[in-house]
Amino acid sequence: AQSVTQLDSHVSVSEGTPVLLRCNYSSSYSPSLFWYVQHPNKGLQLLLKYTSAATLVKGINGFEAEFKKSETSFHLTKPSAHMSDAAEYFCVVSTPRGSQGNLIFGKGTKLSVKP
């Protein structure tokens, strides 16, 4: 069975400090993994994706994520948080199960950034 777990529903950091948003997955297949960001009253925007190439993936706005197969993790990091990073973040697993793939969304992590 496929699943994705975002380990924190809410993370709070101070501006200028590192960000770590955790995501674990379970998949019987070799998955593709995505991180999306959702700002208030907006749609989801792709931050980055892993599709079996380099395990360290760089995305937009200074975010990056590392695929660790042994730990079944795909944690999202940023060295220094900005106020504009305050948003909700979703980890998504995509597998070849089914004729059109199987997309599984995490429940989301709300990131707060304090000045």
Partner 1 sequence: NAGVTQTPKFQVLKTGQSMTLQCAQDMNHEYMSWYRQDPGMGLRLIHYSVGAGITDQGEVPNGYNVSRSTTEDFPLRLLSAAPSQTSVYFCASRLRDSLNHYNSPLHFGNGTRLTVT
Positions in the binding site for partner 1 (CB under 8 A): 31-32, 34, 36, 41-46, 49, 51, 90, 92, 94-96, 99-103, 105-108
Give the residue with the Cβ less far from partner 1, 2 or 72: 2
Asked if residue 71 lies in contact with residue 79, where contact means CB atoms within 8 angstroms, the answer is no
Which token pair is 72? 């079944």
Which token pair is 48? 């980055």
Give the residue with the Cβ less far from partner 1, 3 or 80: 3
Q: Is 20 helix (H, G, I), strand (E, B) or coil?
A: strand
Give the residue with the Cβ less far from partner 1, 42 or 114: 42
Measured distance CA(71)–CA(94) in Å, rounded: 18
Q: Closest separation between CB of residue 13 and partner 1, Å?
A: 23
